């Protein structure tokens, strides 16, 4: 079994595509489960190593007050940087503030400070690095003291960036990890999701389900934390436009003249990157189906113009203003 999985991990994409139908059949199910279990075990070891290298502890239920709040309130808002977030007014953000919230990517450019901020390696995107190393030092963010989630990495350039987190945030910084989807069909993905969330990996709460997107990892974390309602804000995907591009005042307030995102014309890169087994919208649609079937949970989206509105219900605000 280990030899098969080792060959699969080393296989080129065309070989993986050839093996996918076998892995996604009833025969391949045990191999998939074995693969995911083994990967979770290896990620657990890597998490411990990352904690030692960074000095930040691995995320647990016990060391995160926001995870505990999600478990109690059963609801969380996940904040992306899409231009549709500009559709929200003060009353909407007052409603979000009553519930646990997680922002990711360059969300700190916004004036609303969520309860958690999730970051990953920037890999050469210096403007994103500046958000982490400088914007996070903004006085209102420091005063709010959000918890900080850092995606596990062992690369020197990533460890160097993590070491540059402004000092006031370091006591609330935590490391988290992931196991990646392998399936190239929604049927196979559904089986992977069922196994991942049923197995729970409670021994490593910090391990999330991934398909190359922080958004999916945060949805996974919310579900593992006990949420039964997950609301997506500023998650558009059908456009690479960000809120600061539509309203440059967010950039100017944070000392930027421009911001390089690495995105190109068309849809968001997570919708078109051929390195991913499936486009992120199809993955999230399958997560929503699993969430609804297994626990009666609801994954909704705020904007009716989001690509996800084709799959997900629109969130009903308490306030219409």
What pTM was estimated for this model as a whole?
A: 0.88
Arithmetic mean of pLDDT over the chain:
87
CATH value at residue 281: 3.90.1480
> CA 68 to CA 225: how far, in whole Å?
7
Give yes or no for residue 80 having a pLDDT over 90: yes
Residue 318 domain flag: no
| Domain range for 152 | 2-310
| DSSP labels, 262-303 | S--SSS-GGGT-TTSSS-HHHHHHHHHHHHHHHH--EEEES-
> CA 209 to CA 25: how far, in whole Å?
21
Cβ-proximal residues to 31 (8 Å cutoff; 6+ apart), any chain: 1, 4, 5, 23
Residue 178 domain flag: yes
Residue 42 domain flag: yes
Q: Pairing mode, if any, of strands 116-119 and 207-210?
A: unpaired
> CA 315 to CA 307: how far, in whole Å?
14
Residue 317 domain flag: no
Query: pLDDT tens digits, residue range 110-135?
Result: 999 999 999 999 888 899 999 999 99
Query: pLDDT tens digits, residue range 173-225?
Result: 999 999 988 777 777 888 888 888 886 565 589 999 998 899 999 999 999 99
Rg (CA), the chain: 19
Query: pLDDT tens digits, residue range 1-39?
Result: 444 445 544 444 444 555 556 666 666 667 777 778 888
Domain count along the chain: 1
Residue 258 domain flag: yes
Give yes or no for residue 311 having a pLDDT over 70: yes
């Amino acid at each position: 079994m280990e030899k098969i999985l080792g060959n699969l991990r080393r296989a080129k994409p065309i070989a993986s595509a050839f093996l996918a139908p076998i892995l996604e059949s009833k025969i391949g199910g045990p191999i998939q489960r074995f693969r995911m279990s083994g990967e979770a075990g290896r990620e657990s070891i890597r998490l411990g190593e990352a904690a030692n290298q960074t000095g930040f502890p691995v995320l647990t239920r016990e060391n995160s007050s926001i995870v505990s709040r999600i478990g109690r309130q059963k609801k969380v808002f996940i904040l992306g940087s899409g231009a549709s977030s500009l559709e929200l007014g003060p009353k909407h953000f007052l409603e979000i503030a009553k519930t646990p919230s997680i922002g990711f990517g360059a969300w700190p450019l916004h004036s609303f400070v969520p309860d958690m901020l999730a970051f990953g390696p920037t890999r050469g995107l210096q403007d994103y690095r500046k958000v982490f190393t400088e914007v996070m030092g903004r006085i209102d963010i420091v005063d709010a003291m959000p918890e900080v989630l850092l995606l596990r990495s062992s690369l020197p350039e990533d460890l160097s960036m993590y070491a540059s987190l402004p000092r006031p945030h370091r006591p609330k910084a935590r490391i988290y990890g992931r196991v990646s989807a392998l399936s190239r069909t929604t049927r196979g993905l559904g089986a992977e999701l069922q196994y991942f969330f049923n197995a729970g990996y409670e021994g490593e709460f910090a391990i999330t389900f991934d398909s190359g997107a922080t958004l999916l990892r945060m949805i996974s974390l919310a579900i593992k934390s006990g949420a039964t309602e997950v609301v997506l804000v500023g998650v558009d995907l059908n456009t690479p436009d960000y809120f600061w591009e539509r309203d440059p005042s967010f950039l100017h307030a944070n000392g930027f003249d421009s911001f390089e995102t690495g995105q190109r014309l068309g849809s968001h890169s997570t919708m078109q990157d051929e390195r991913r087994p499936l486009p992120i919208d199809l993955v999230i649609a399958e997560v929503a189906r699993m969430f609804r079937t297994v626990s009666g949970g609801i994954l909704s989206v705020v904007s009716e113009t989001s690509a996800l509105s084709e799959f997900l219900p629109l969130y009903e605000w308490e306030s219409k203003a």
